[in-house]
Amino acid sequence: MKDIMTAPFLIDMIRTTTNMYNHGWDERNGGNISVLLDEGDVSAYLDTNTVLRTIPTGFSAPELDGKYFLVTGTGKYFKNAQYDPENNLGIVRLKDGGETAELLWGYKDGGRFTSEFPAHMMSHVARLKVDSENRVVMHCHPANLLAMTFVHMLDEREFTRTLWQMCTECIVVFPDGVNVLPWMLCGTNEIGEATAEKMKTARLVVWSLHGIYGAGRDLDETFGLIETAEKAAEIYMKIAHLPRINTITDSMMHELEERFGVKAREGYLD
């Protein structure tokens, strides 16, 4: 059996958590990631018949029964994943309709998966119904997107249009736009359910006054989604107090749709 520390999915997770921390998106123990793994990939590195312990999840997700996930741990600092992966990360398999997680590797200090695990799993269910190749759910606290929720109306169409107008690439990278939730108590099934509902129509969901959720087919794609939206928010926060002389118009965005073969969310462009 291969050494788990050489597994590409683990190496990618370590690189991503480190990169996110270095970007300033995941201060202290802020933020979390979950990656849906193929059983064949896991079994090449772990004996899937050996369960270290079981952890109740506190929710039901029958669609994910038997699925494997690599997940960041609760209370863990992203900056430490590169130095002690087995303590800061874990691999679990869901059973009992998603109500129980079997720990196969990680959380060696007796810990468990992120407190946002319900929101992650519910978002996985929602995105898999839209895109069967979705594998990643990522949550973090990018400063400019967070700041933007304090000063910009939270209407999803207007929020999206503002981001699209900040960078030429935005409508190409996230033509489905950005959905927005009002402030809600984190770590609850309620915010998980609300996020999953928003994930049905967009891969980016802003948690007002808190952070953002992103979903994608791999870690690079999901990181890139958030990175692009955060860059747009940074530009907005730099110019929001100034008179705008130039902007990316709807006509220009229609040109981008045609050039790059994307389609903006229905009703978001004039």
- Please give the Cα distance from 249 to 220 (Å, whole number): 29
Catalytic positions, written as ranges: 116
d(Cα 212, Cα 214) in Å, to the nearest integer? 7
Both structure tokens of 218: 């791999």
CB atoms within 10 A of CB 243: 5
Q: How far apart are CA 247 and CA 206, in angstroms?
A: 23
> Which among 66, 182, 69, 176 is positioned nearest to 116, based on CA atoms?
69
Phi, psi dihedrals of residue 108, rounded to the nearest 5°: -65, -15
- Angle, to 10 degrees, between the axis of helix 219-239 and the axis of helix 143-151? 50
